[in-house]
């Protein structure tokens, strides 16, 4: 990668990202993420702060055994303490002991932090920056200097903020990274300041590190690049403290596809959505379906006019080809759907429908009535496919429900709540009656149904419930409100969603559970009944 058009991607998911609320990775997770980021083509992976916690120390020990193809691993830390020689500073020693090729060092740019946080003099702060950078460089490290709170410091005292960068340059820093640590700068102001720094330091490589507190983390990062910066620091999925860091899953495709910048990871853009989901999975959080580029809703069409136009000319309602980032076009079925949306959705699910409008109209009318009653199929593709199967008379009866009962009672004291479910079904003419207990009525009902079916359909054993959502549809009706239940199921390979609606939460849950099981059975017993399609992935 060469030329002024290139941009370096610096990922700080493993350090700055883990400062976000609810984000935590084990040592094994961090090793796997490092390998994944390296494969994707990220240039720098910031692994953590040696000495801040045992987990980061273990990570740096473990990462040494990796054979990375491209990425450089960076250890992160601060400048030396005030009035302590760099060679005697314990934190700088830990940075060297981490054994990484790169050290990212942050120092104070804002005079407020120098006098009120560090409680030292402006002159000593400059010495701390220069001494620390020089010490690391003399010990063979490439130093990325992060100028913390640089933009705020620049606004308050231009001369001093620039002096901190000069100190880092004298020490031998390879990069000067300007940080909008509080995430408060607007696009024009950040671009102007970045451009002034680039012109002031023509021999130095400049980077930007922004946060999303004003909702502008991606925009300010791109503006920094337009102004002459050559490095972007950020996190995958925008993880980070407060409202997060600049989101690299948006920064990267914008740089490569909209701004024409050369990225080492450019050849792996089609893996971006997979990478995003991988990070969410390890962080144990649900993927944001509204995430630009990589979210499942990023190229989803609901309105009939939109869906019809997108079917004819994709770019009429899509700003780019979703396949470029590993995503795909989706059609959402609702009471807003017209004939075109219905046809497109069926085609997406692999079901062929007759082009004769008279054949489709009754299905569309029934769908709109179901939506009016509270059914919602946007996140329940499996239930919609079962509806199609019924309408096309391809549905197979795997079992017949004779009845079920759910009892919830206290046993053995106030702290013990037990739910018992009884299910009676008929399979191949044989009556089956099962009972299951759990702490909750839905799980008890699910277990009882499985026990009844597993002898006949062993493939049911692999199915598990991943998520369960309840929505009150008529908030003014109190306890008599109609309720919608959405269930997400998985067999370890595919994920599918089902829906149930009733004024009884148990009945709504049963309906969604039944659809989940029937979909699995129909898909594995005779996929042609579903149009030969694979199960939709709603993640």
Summarised one tens digit per residue, pLDDT across range 171-229 is: 999 999 999 999 999 999 999 999 999 999 999 999 999 999 999 999 999 999 999 99
Give the pLDDT score at 532. 42
Q: What is the pLDDT of residue 31?
A: 93
Of residues 246 and 316, the one with the higher pLDDT is: 246
- pLDDT grade, residue 291 (50/70/90)? very high
Secondary-structure percent of the chain, ordered helix, strand, coil, rounded to 5: 45, 20, 35
Separation between Cα atoms, residue 142 and residue 125, nearest integer Å: 21
Helix (H) or strand (E) holding 144: strand 142-148
Segment 304-327 mean pLDDT = 68
Binned at pLDDT 50, 70 and 90, residue 363 comes out as confident
Tell me the pLDDT band of 507, cut-offs 50, 70 and 90. very high
| Percent over 70 (pLDDT), the chain | 85
Q: Which residue has the higher pLDDT, 537 or 4?
A: 4
Q: Name which residue leads in pLDDT, 312 or 458.
A: 458
For the chain, give the percent of residues with pLDDT over 90.
Answer: 60
Q: Is the pLDDT score of 238 beyond 90?
A: yes
Please report how many Cα atoms fall inside a 13 Å half-sphere around the Cα of residue 467, on the Cβ side: 17
Output the CA–CA distances (angstroms, integers) from residue 36 to 11, 75, 279, 475, in the order listed. Answer: 12, 18, 9, 45
Phi-psi region of 477 (alpha: psi -120 to 50; beta: other; left: phi over 0): alpha
Distance between CA atoms of 105 and 147, rounded to whole angstroms? 9
Q: Which pLDDT band, with edges at 50, 70 and 90, does 534 fall under?
A: very low
Mean pLDDT, rounded, for 126-149: 97
Radius of gyration of the chain (CA): 29
Q: Could you give the CA distance from residue 435 to residue 455 in angstroms, rounded to a whole number?
A: 15
Cα 146 from Cα 209, distance rounded (Å):
8
The pLDDT of residue 535 is above 50: no
Rounded to whole angstroms, the maximal C-alpha distance in the chain is 89
163 band by pLDDT with thresholds 50, 70 and 90: very high
pLDDT at 131: 97
Q: Does 339 have pLDDT greater than 70?
A: no
Residue 323: other Cβ atoms inside 10 A:
13
Rounded Cα–Cα distance for residues 500 and 507 (Å): 8
Per-residue pLDDT tens over the stretch 401-423? 999 999 998 776 666 788 999 99
Contact in structure between 301 and 330 (CB atoms under 8 Å): yes
Grouping H, G, I as helix, E, B as strand and the rest as coil, residue 76 is strand
Q: How far apart, in whole angstroms, are the C-alpha atoms of residue 441 and residue 494?
A: 25
Q: Are 144 and 182 in contact (CB under 8 A)?
A: no
At 109, is the pLDDT very low, low, confident or very high (cuts 50, 70, 90)? very high
Inter-residue contact 475 to 482 (CB < 8 Å) = no
Do the Cβ atoms of 411 and 418 come closer than 8 Å? yes
Q: What is the pLDDT of residues 128-137, one digit of tens each?
A: 999 999 999 9
Distance from C-alpha of 465 to C-alpha of 303, rounded to nearest angstrom: 30
Span 69-89, pLDDT tens digits = 999 999 999 999 999 999 999
Q: Would you place residue 337 in the very low, low, confident or very high pLDDT band (cuts 50, 70, 90)?
A: low
Two tokens, residue 151: 């933009």
> How far is it, in rounded angstroms, from Cα 122 to Cα 110?
10
Over range 452-466, report the average pLDDT: 90
Domains along the chain with CATH numbers? 8-283 (3.20.20.70), 300-373 (no CATH), 400-530 (3.30.160.270)
| Alpha helices (H) in 234-380, listed in sequence order | 248-253, 272-283, 304-312, 339-348, 357-373
- Between CA 332 and CA 317 the distance in angstroms is 14
The encoded tokens of residue 180 equal 């909008």
Q: What integer pLDDT is reported at residue 45 of this predicted model?
A: 98
Strand partners, 418: 409
3-state class (DSSP) for residue 416? coil
Mean pLDDT of the chain: 86
Mutual orientation of helices 339-348 and 357-373 as an angle, nearest 10°? 90
Give every CB contact of residue 152 below 8 A, 6+ residues apart in sequence: 109, 110, 112, 180, 181, 182, 184, 185
DSSP code per residue over 480-513: G--EEEEEEEE-SS-EEEEEEEESSHHHHHHHHH
* DSSP single-letter state for residue 256: I
Q: Cα–Cα–Cα angle for 22, 496, 317, nearest 5°?
A: 85
pTM, whole model, 2 decimals? 0.70
Residue 107 burial by CB count (10 A; 0-12/13-18/19+): exposed, middle or buried?
buried
More confident residue, 349 or 261: 261
pLDDT attached to residue 114 = 92
Q: How confident is the model at residue 304 (pLDDT cuts 50, 70, 90)?
A: low
User: Average pLDDT of 354-371?
Assistant: 67
Band of residue 344 on the pLDDT scale cut at 50, 70, 90 = low
Query: Which residue in 420, 360, 416 sits closest to 387, CA to CA?
Result: 360
User: Sign of dihedral through CA atoms 346, 347, 349, 353?
Assistant: positive
What's residue 467's pLDDT?
A: 82
Contact between residue 141 and residue 175 where contact means Cβ atoms under 8 Å apart: no
């Amino acid at each position: 990668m060469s030329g002024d058009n290139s941009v370096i991607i610096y990922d700080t998911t493993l350090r700055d990202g883990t400062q976000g609320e609810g984000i935590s990775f084990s040592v094994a997770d961090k090793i796997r993420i490092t390998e994944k980021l390296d494969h994707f083509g990220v240039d720098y992976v910031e692994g953590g702060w040696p000495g801040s916690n045992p987990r980061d120390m273990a990570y740096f020990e473990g990462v040494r055994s990796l054979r990375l193809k491209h990425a450089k691993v960076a250890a992160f830390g601060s400048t030396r303490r005030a009035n302590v020689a760099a060679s005697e500073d314990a934190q700088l020693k830990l940075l060297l002991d981490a054994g990484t090729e790169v050290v990212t060092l942050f120092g104070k740019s804002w005079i407020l932090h120098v006098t009120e946080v560090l409680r030292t003099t402006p002159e000593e702060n400059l010495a701390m920056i220069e001494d620390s950078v020089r010490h690391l460089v003399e010990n063979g490290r490439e130093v990325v200097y992060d100028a913390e709170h640089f933009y705020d410091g620049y606004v308050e005292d231009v001369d001093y903020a620039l002096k901190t960068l000069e100190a880092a340059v004298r020490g031998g820093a390879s990069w000067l990274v300007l940080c909008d640590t509080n995430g408060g700068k607007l696009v024009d102001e950040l671009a102007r300041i970045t451009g002034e720094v680039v012109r002031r330091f023509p021999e130095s490589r400049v980077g930007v590190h922004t946060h999303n507190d004003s909702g502008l983390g991606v925009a300010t990062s791109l503006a920094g690049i337009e102004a002459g910066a050559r490095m972007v620091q950020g996190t995958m999925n925008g993880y980070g403290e407060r409202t997060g860091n600049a989101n690299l899953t948006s920064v990267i495709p914008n740089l490569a596809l909209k701004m024409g910048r050369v990225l080492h990871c450019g050849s792996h853009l089609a893996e971006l959505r997979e990478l995003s989901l991988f990070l969410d999975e390890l962080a144990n959080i649900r993927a944001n379906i509204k995430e630009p580029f990589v979210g499942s809703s990023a190229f989803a069409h609901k309105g009939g006019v939109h869906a019809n136009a997108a079917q004819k000319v994709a770019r009429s309602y899509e700003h780019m080809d979703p396949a470029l980032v590993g995503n795909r076009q989706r059609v959402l079925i609702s009471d807003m759907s017209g004939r075109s949306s219905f046809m497109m959705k069926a085609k997406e699910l692999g079901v062929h429908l007759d082009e004769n409008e008279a054949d489709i109209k009754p299905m569309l009318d029934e769908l709109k009535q179901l939506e009016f009653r509270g059914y919602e199929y946007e996140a329940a593709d499996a239930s919609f496919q079962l509806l199609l199967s019924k309408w096309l008379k391809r549905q197979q009866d795997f079992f017949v429900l004779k009845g079920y009962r759910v009892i919830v009672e206290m046993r053995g004291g106030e702290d013990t709540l037990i739910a018992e479910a009884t299910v009676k079904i008929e399979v191949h003419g044989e009556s089956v009656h099962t009972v299951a207990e759990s702490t909750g009525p839905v799980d008890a009902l699910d277990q009882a149904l499985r026990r009844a079916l597993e002898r006949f359909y062993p493939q049911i054993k692999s199915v598990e419930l991943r998520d369960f959502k309840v929505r009150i549809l008529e908030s003014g009706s109190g306890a008599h409100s109609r309720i919608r239940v959405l269930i997400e199921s998985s067999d370890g390979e595919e994920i599918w969603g089902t829906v149930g609606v009733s004024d009884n939460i148990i009945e709504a849950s049963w309906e969604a559970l039944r659809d989940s099981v029937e979909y699995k059975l129909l898909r594995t017993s005779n996929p042609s009944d579903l149009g030969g399609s694979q199960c939709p992935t709603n993640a």
